[in-house]
Amino acid sequence: MGSTIRTILDASFDASSRESGYPHYVHRATQMLCACRTGRLGSHVQRCPAGHFARVIPHSCHHRLCPQCNTVPRAQWLEKMQSRLIDCAHHHLIFTIPHTLHEVWRYNRVWFTQTLFASVAETLQTLCADERYMGAQPGLMLALHTWGRALPLHPHIHALLTDGGLTDDGRWQDPKRSCVLPARVVMALYRGKLLSKLRSALEQGALVVPPDCRVERLGNLLNRLGRDKWNVHVCRRYAHGAGVMTYLARYVRGGPLKDGQVSMLSDGRVRLSYQPHAEDGGCRRKQSLVLSAASFIRRYLQHTPLPRKPVVRHYGLYATRCTPLLERARQAHGQAPRIKEAPTPLKATEYYLRVAGHPTHATHCPQCGGALVKALNVVAPRGPPAVAKA
């Protein structure tokens, strides 16, 4: 029997919540996903200006985890970010944490997220400022992902780094080596910075220690991790950052899964289809995993974005406060100055026209081909008023 993430949540979230318990923001996200495009959030009427056609469009939830309604917002974000890119080569780096720290992540997600971003940014900025490698300030964008292909917890950061930067006197400086930064050096410095912050937080009592672990045991684990090799991947040089940015956009909005990857079986279990990484046995064929509904929901909802915590952050030349330096770097590559005013966001009609290449029934009248217009807004239904106390 076919299904969607919304129908699975509708059918089994209450039971999963009683079994596992979820924070308030996860309950709120689930409510939004279950109400998306059902009319519970309101709706509006689209009609043909010539009166040939009209229809009611239920409102979307626009939650970052929702797989249904983030296609256009994702395209809007991508268009905005690509307009900031410097027209130079870029590098893609991936920073992970050892799986033995995953429980620490679960109990300290806000602190660990901030610390992970800070450790990666400090590592790359420190090495790029070193005269041996670049001696300049680069542009840097970091994106947080928390999942693997089969939805295990796998916190890691994708970094987009310019192939060069601005020196203190405003000149563009190319890297001094064919490989912008040595992978071993990047790994060692990143490992040291993150472990140092973890030890300091543990000593100050700022970390929540998982229930099945003691402070001394966690301290010993951090010492052992300082001798291990961490997985930091420095990808090949890309001629431009647009391709990596397009890759990152898939994970910024819409969550870890598409509806087509899940189906509910007749016995109530859920089949999850995914394509493994090339290094996982060298097989790229799609694989499937059958889970109980409660287990699938736990896997899925552990990746709910934290409220008001951005998963993409900008540093160096790409930081908002460095706009004058960004303009100088763009000028060094023959690019026109960016428009001071915020660009008009990409409209849904423009997006679907661009993708399809011609007017479709999603945005235009099926009879005359005229663009549909919004005619009436229907407010979301509300519950009955509270009964006044006597």
Maximum C-alpha span of the chain: 80
Q: How far apart are CA 160 and CA 119, in angstroms?
A: 15
Split the chain (390 residues) into runs of 10 and give each run's mean pLDDT.
81 88 93 92 90 90 91 88 92 96 96 97 97 95 94 95 94 89 96 97 94 93 95 90 87 89 91 77 75 94 94 95 93 83 66 68 82 82 52
Q: How far apart are CA 97 and CA 154, in angstroms?
A: 8
pTM confidence score: 0.89
Domain 71-256+303-332 CATH assignment equals 2.40.50? no
DSSP lists the bridge partners of residue 376 as 45
Question: What pLDDT score does 284 carry?
Answer: 63
The two structure tokens encoding residue 207: 């970390």
Question: What pLDDT score does 381 carry?
Answer: 67
Residue type, 350: E
Question: What pLDDT score does 112 carry?
Answer: 97
Q: Please report the sign of the dihedral spanned by the C-alpha atoms of residue 210, residue 212, residue 214, residue 217.
A: negative
Q: How far apart are CA 37 and CA 35, in angstroms?
A: 6
Closest CA relative to residue 117, chosen from 142, 148, 92, 81:
142
